[in-house]
Chains A and B, each alone.
Chain A
Amino acid sequence: MSKVIVVTSGKGGVGKTTTSANLAAGLASLGFRTVAIDFDVGLRNLDLVMGCERRVVYDFVNVIRGEASLRQAVIKDKRLENLYVLPASQTRDKDALTQEGVGKVIEEFKNSGFDYIVCDSPAGIEWGAQMAMYYADEAVVVTNPEVSSVRDSDRILGLLDAKTYRAEQGMDPIKAHLLLTRYSPSRVAKGEMLSYKDVVELLGIPLVGVIPESAAVLSASNAGAPVILDPTSEAAQAYLDLVRRFVGEELPHRFLEPVKRSFFSRIFGGGQEAAYAG
């Protein structure tokens, strides 16, 4: 049984593409045949974050328009056996994605034995975002502990309940999971940032992961390798936990408490936390 997962948020810049790349890479590393599809037509970035931007020949829109086959457009990852990427097109044509075309592509992935189809949604609530979520079975709602992000996530949850295939067909609703990113336990402890409990309470969906703010995420995207591939950082471990929870493991959430700092680092600053706190 293949599963379609949409990674969505409403608000831009909260970590959808990073999450899509890491979720897909993580699932593939566990042995699941996984494809990540970039729905951000016009502003494709998933290929860059996953480090395959120089290998893009055909894209999602080419496939929908019948200008290329899926096999021609899909890029096989060089690091992970089971990982594939379908890049977005850079066309400015807003109507390039059709509901029927998207449906056909997803169907073809399902029939080709893919276990997971990860749909990286564009920001906003327009057509591209609606197409990314339309055929989803589950959703990862990426949220920052910040007011505008939480509000936008609430809007997205409304769309997931109404403007999707599952909703229209009266099937079981899309299972939505909350993923908090850029979480800073020390700022939460100081009362400067919404806690994960606050956000869970506000949005009313189960928490699937908390990714701490980490310099490793930027380094990883600089290098074009999902952070999860090098599990030394906290962010990588938190993403790995997320993936394992996604496939049914029960794991406690980690990295929720501030790291105890020594007297000297308190006085002089420095160390991990201080580096991103500003």
Chain B
Amino acid sequence: MGFLDYLLKSRNATASVAKERLSIIVAREGARGNGAPHYLPQLKQELLQVLAKYEKIDLEQVTVNVEKDGDTDVLELNVVLSPERTAQRAPVAPRPQPAMPRRAAPKAEAQPGWWER
């Protein structure tokens, strides 16, 4: 078996393939905020408190992310407004202009479809 191992040595050099595949996966799935500041969860909570003064929203509908766009980091805040809100009474307080353009379906946009993978 030792001799066979010796003969087969170079044919199984698959580690570099594994590394290449993983580096793509890890970069794309980006499970970690990759350098996202640790205050994000708290920022989310505080933003929510402010938003709750003006709009009826729940925590699940708010996403705060730091994304890399070339050389710059972008702090992205997405708030999905409650579907019943049109049926509700007028807002109690003046609504501020949204700082960022609202997106129709932020969750679907954040995740690339299977065909793009």
Contact = CB atoms under 8 A, between A and B. Distances in A.
A associates with B = yes
Interface of A: 146-147, 150-151, 154-159, 161-162, 167-173, 188, 190-195, 198, 202-204, 261, 265-270, 274, 277-278
23 contacts: A151-B25, A154-B29, A154-B31, A155-B29, A156-B31, A158-B30, A159-B31, A162-B33, A169-B42, A170-B38, A170-B41, A190-B13, A191-B15, A192-B13, A192-B15, A198-B15, A202-B19, A202-B26, A266-B2, A266-B3, A268-B3, A269-B1, A274-B5
Nearest to A197: B19
Main SS at interface, chain B = helix
Contact of B3 (A167, A173, A202, A267): A267
Contacts of A277: 5
Interface in B18-57: 18-19, 21-23, 25-26, 29-34, 36, 38-39, 41-43
Contacts of B16: 191
B47 to A, nearest CB: 13
Contacts of A204: 32, 34
Interface residues of B, number: 31
Contacts of A191: 10, 12-16
B9 interface: yes
Contacts of B42: 169-170
Main SS at interface, chain A = helix
B12 A190 contact: yes
A193 B15 contact: yes
Among all A-B residue pairs, the 10 with the closest Cβ atoms = A158-B31, A191-B13, A170-B42, A269-B1, A269-B2, A266-B2, A155-B31, A192-B12, A198-B19, A158-B32
